[in-house]
């Protein structure tokens, strides 16, 4: 599903050029659950952003489902993103002014799904993450775990083929963290591909495969059996 070859990414200021990712090649198959690990600043979040088409790559190739997307324009990326990719963040990134229901509904609004269909799908996914009873609450009225469940619901409501999770349990206690990991695992079992950046060895164990990074390079790949 994802085939990145010889990826280079630089950050430039007036005087200095920093290499963020150096000659990175990864391959994620459809239905796989991959964890990316490494110390702060090793480039794992940058990699995730490139995979999610939120950031450009400077050199190399990126095939998404066999299509070269490295040189895609913003409108094409946006289109590809909204139909294929769901995001889960460490800090949940829910919109404070919208209710749980409206937050989850948002991706469907942008993919122009009719209102009745939207309602059905949002309710279905809220049931799935067991947060239906808080559908009319605002994010600040929920606990961290509940907020992350809403974020997961929002990520999957569009039935994306790929979910990108950036430290999904980073802001949660272990119970809530486990619940979220459980959810991701269930999603993976239904066929969704997941790429997750994490610091937690515990969370990484839920993945099929772990990619370890250091100083912008992939140093090791381990597969869990």
Q: How far is the CB of 116 from other proteins (least distance, A)?
A: 20
- φ, ψ for residue 25, nearest 5 deg: -130, 125
Q: How far is the CB of 46 from other proteins (least distance, A)?
A: 16
Q: How far apart are CA 118 and CA 120, in angstroms?
A: 5
Q: Which is nearer to other proteins, 22 or 93 (CB)?
A: 93
Q: Tell me the C-alpha to C-alpha distance, in Å, between residue 162 and each of 17, 28, 71, 100, 156.
A: 32, 10, 20, 22, 9
Interaction between residue 121 and other proteins (CB under 8 A): no
Q: Which is nearer to other proteins, 11 or 110 (CB)?
A: 110
Interaction between residue 115 and other proteins (CB under 8 A): no
Per CB under 8 A, the list member of 9, 81, 121, 149 interacting with other proteins is 81
Q: Are 7 and 44 in contact (CB under 8 A)?
A: no
Interaction between residue 72 and other proteins (CB under 8 A): no
Nearest to 212 by CA among 202, 198, 194: 198
Per CB under 8 A, the list member of 15, 96, 116, 223 interacting with other proteins is 96
Chain-centroid distance of CA 39 in Å reads: 19
Interaction between residue 159 and other proteins (CB under 8 A): no
Interaction between residue 17 and other proteins (CB under 8 A): no
Q: Which is nearer to other proteins, 150 or 210 (CB)?
A: 150
Q: Are 140 and 134 in contact (CB under 8 A)?
A: no
Interaction between residue 93 and other proteins (CB under 8 A): yes
Helix ranges, the chain (H): 44-51, 74-84, 100-110, 115-128, 144-156, 174-189, 201-204
Nearest to 122 by CA among 106, 142, 137: 106
Encoded one letter per residue, x for contact with other proteins by CB under 8 A and - for no contact, window 43-62 reads: ---------x-x--------
Interaction between residue 168 and other proteins (CB under 8 A): no
Interaction site with other proteins (CB under 8 A): 52, 54, 75, 78-79, 81-83, 87, 93-97, 106-107, 110-111, 154
């Amino acid at each position: 599903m994802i085939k990145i070859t010889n990826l280079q990414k630089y950050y430039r200021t007036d005087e200095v050029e920093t290499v963020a990712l150096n000659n990175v090649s990864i391959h994620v198959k459809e239905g796989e659950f991959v964890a990316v690990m490494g110390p702060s600043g090793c480039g794992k979040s940058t990699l995730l952003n490139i995979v999610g088409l939120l950031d450009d790559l400077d050199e190399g190739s990126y095939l998404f489902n066999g299509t070269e997307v490295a040189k895609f324009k913003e409108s094409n990326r946006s289109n590809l993103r909204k139909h294929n990719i769901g995001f889960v963040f460490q800090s949940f990134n829910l919109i404070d002014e919208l209710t749980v229901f409206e937050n989850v509904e948002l991706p469907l609004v942008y993919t122009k799904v009719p209102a009745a269909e939207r309602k059905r799908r949002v309710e279905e996914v809220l049931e799935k993450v067991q947060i239906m009873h808080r559908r009319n609450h605002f994010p600040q009225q929920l606990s961290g775990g509940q907020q992350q469940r809403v974020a997961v619901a929002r990520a999957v409501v569009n039935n994306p083929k790929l979910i990108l999770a950036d430290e999904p349990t980073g802001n949660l206690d272990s119970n809530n963290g486990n619940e979220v990991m459980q959810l991701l695992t269930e999603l993976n079992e239904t066929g969704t591909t997941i790429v997750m950046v994490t610091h937690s060895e515990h969370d990484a164990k839920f993945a099929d495969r772990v990619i370890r990074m250091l100083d912008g390079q992939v140093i090791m790949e381990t597969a869990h059996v």
